[in-house]
């Protein structure tokens, strides 16, 4: 309650105690004085305090109802903009809590309670919790960034630091990834937003660079024709952008011919494996040597 109500109640209590303990005043006169003087004061005090309490209760009931309606409107606006479902759920909870805290503070002010000290205590508690959960809060912020900017989505294949795999689920504090050998990795979200990250499946097509080695002295025109013919017959290779072959390097014991082509992202590995196998078989049929590293040793007598 506010200071006037508290002081009024204290004054009434003090006067009543004095009157009841005074021996010089007859009992009947005491009762008459209480009935004529103090009872109206008590009634007035009760009415004043009761009205404030009733107003605070009304503020709470109406305020919580309004907070619920505002939260629903915010969620509808987010869903209309195709915001991620997990982010919608999180923002709904945050908005609901924040609005209810505001309503609660208003109700406390109606009762006359000093809110500055109350706010200071809440701030101190918040600072302490923030320091204790600094790492968790970083992951929490990372989850918000991932849900807002969407560097990847569920089913994307990513690589970050020493791990790679398919995104299974994006949580507020961590992201669940399944590796190619069927292991599940839970990666803190702060790691995903502070480290370089490669998303292999964000684009619809990918370029494939495959190196083939042939021995020195090989007919390069024939070797390139074999590679190009096999690439032309490979259904997974796109016709646009066009495929090219070129000599990319002269190594110590071999000439390296590179095939550069494009394929749909989901066909990337199939095309690469097929090209390696088919070119190897074709080179063997045509008698083209695929060299291996050799060292020539000269013996001095």
The three-state secondary structure class of 298 is: coil
Residue 150 per-residue DSSP state = -
User: Percent of the chain, pLDDT > 70?
Assistant: 73
Question: Tokens at residue 23, please?
Answer: 């021996």
Residues 219-242: what's their mean pLDDT?
94
CATH topology of domain 146-199: SH3 type barrels. (2.30.30)
Strands 197-199 and 205-214 turn out to be unpaired
**Alpha-carbon span 201 to 180, nearest angstrom:** 14
First CA to last CA distance, the chain: 110
Q: What is the pLDDT of residues 34-57, one digit of tens each?
A: 555 555 666 666 677 777 778 888
Whether CATH 3.30.70.100 fits 205-286: yes
Q: Tell me what the mean pLDDT of segment 246-259 comes to.
A: 92
CB 205 within 8 A of CB 264: yes
pLDDT in tens, 100-137: 888 888 887 777 766 666 666 667 666 665 665 566 77
Give the residue extent of every domain in the chain: 3-111, 146-199, 205-286
The SS3 call for residue 176 is: strand
Read off the pLDDT of each residue in 225-252 and give the average, rounded to a whole number: 93
With a cut of 60, say whether residue 236 has pLDDT above it. Answer: yes
User: What is the dihedral angle through the alpha carbons of 268, 272, 278, 284, rounded to the nearest 10 degrees?
Assistant: 170
Which element (helix H / strand E) includes 208? strand 205-214
Other C-beta atoms lying within 10 Å of the C-beta of residue 144: 16
Q: Which of 168, 174, 147 is CA-nearest to residue 156? A: 168
In Å, what is the CA distance from 97 to each residue of 64, 70, 91, 100, 268? 10, 12, 10, 5, 48
CATH topology identical between 146-199 and 205-286 = no
Mean confidence (pLDDT) of the chain = 80
pLDDT of residue 76: 83
Output the pTM of the full model. 0.60
Residue 187 carries which DSSP code?
E
Give 179-213 pLDDT, tens digit per residue.
999 999 999 999 999 999 999 999 999 999 999 99
145 is written with which tokens? Answer: 């960034």
Distances (CA, A) of 43 to 40, 47, 48, 298: 5, 6, 9, 118
Q: Using CA atoms, how far apart are residues 46 and 52, in angstroms rounded to an integer?
A: 10
**Residue 281 backbone dihedrals phi, psi, to 5 degrees:** -65, -40
In sequence order, the 6+-apart residues with CB closer than 8 A to the CB of 287 are none
Question: Quick one: DSSP state of residue 114?
Answer: -
Residue 297, pLDDT > 70, answer yes
Rounded CA-CA distance 136/141 in Å is: 9
């Amino acid at each position: 309650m506010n200071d006037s109500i508290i002081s009024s109640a204290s004054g009434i209590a003090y006067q009543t105690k004095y009157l009841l303990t005074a021996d010089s005043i007859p009992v009947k006169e005491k009762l008459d004085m209480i009935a004529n003087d103090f009872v109206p004061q008590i009634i007035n005090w009760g009415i004043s305090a009761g009205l404030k309490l009733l107003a605070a209760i009304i503020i709470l009931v109406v305020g919580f109802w309004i907070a619920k309606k505002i939260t629903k409107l915010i969620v509808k606006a987010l869903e209309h903009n195709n915001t991620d479902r997990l982010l919608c759920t999180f923002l709904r909870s945050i908005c609901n809590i924040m609005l209810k805290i505001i309503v609660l503070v208003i109700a406390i002010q109606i009762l006359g309670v000093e809110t500055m000290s109350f706010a200071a205590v809440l701030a101190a508690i918040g600072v302490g919790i923030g320091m204790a959960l600094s790492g968790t809060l970083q992951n929490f912020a990372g989850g918000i960034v991932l849900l807002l900017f969407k560097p990847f989505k569920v089913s994307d294949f990513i690589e970050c630091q020493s791990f790679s795999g398919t995104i299974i689920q994006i949580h507020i504090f961590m992201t669940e990834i399944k590796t190619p050998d069927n292991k599940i990795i839970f990666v803190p979200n702060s790691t995903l937003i502070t480290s370089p990250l490669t998303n292999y499946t964000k684009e619809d097509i990918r370029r494939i660079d495959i190196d083939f080695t042939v021995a020195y002295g090989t007919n390069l025109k024939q070797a390139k024709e074999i590679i190009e013919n096999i690439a032309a017959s490979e259904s997974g290779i796109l016709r646009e952008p066009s495929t090219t072959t070129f000599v990319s390097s002269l190594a110590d014991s071999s000439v390296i011919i590179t095939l550069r082509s494009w394929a749909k992202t989901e066909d990337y590995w199939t095309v690469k494996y097929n090209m390696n196998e088919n070119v190897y078989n074709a080179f063997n049929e045509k008698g083209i040597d695929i060299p291996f590293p050799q060292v020539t040793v000269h013996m001095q007598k």
